[in-house]
Amino acid sequence: MTDSAPAWLDDVKWDAAGLVPAIAQDHNTGRILMMAWMDREALALTAQQHTAVYYSRSRARLWPKGESSGHVQKVHEIRLDCDADVVILSVEQLGGIACHTGRESCFYRVLDDGQWRSVEPVLKDPKDIYG
């Protein structure tokens, strides 16, 4: 980021690693699609471009959602919670798949009688998405 970073970024309570959790929620249905992390640059780019940009902790770099899958998130609204330590993105999930497993949502497992059970179908095989 340059020194001309928007002042509103200072209102966010970043964790010790300079990150904030970001929840992507379907703009039309309200369904929670996924959670990822953002650093200052990712949040500023998301606000500027109106498409979701996250920070990949495993890759240690910016991660524009959909860069390899094509499943871009068009951002309609960005909200900050009362403690200023969680961001919610109201998004239109292009392609209808948010999860790297090929499902609509990353939250496809339900705790059922002491075990996690998958309750959402795979819409597209990840091999067909990522090669």
> Which CATH number belongs to the domain containing residue 28 in this structure?
3.10.20.810
Answer whether residue 65 is part of any domain. yes
Say how far apart CA 126 and CA 69 lie, in whole Å. Answer: 9
pLDDT, residue 89, reads 98
Answer whether residue 103 is part of any domain. no
Domain that holds residue 74: 9-96
Task: Give the predicted TM-score (pTM) of the model.
Answer: 0.92
- pLDDT band for position 97 (50/70/90)? very high
Answer whether residue 51 is part of any domain. yes
Angle at alpha carbon of residue 29, lines to 27 and 31, rounded to 5°? 90
Q: How many domains does the chain have?
A: 1
115 phi and psi, to 5 degrees? -135, 150
pLDDT, residue 122, reads 97
Residue 4 pLDDT exceeds 80: no
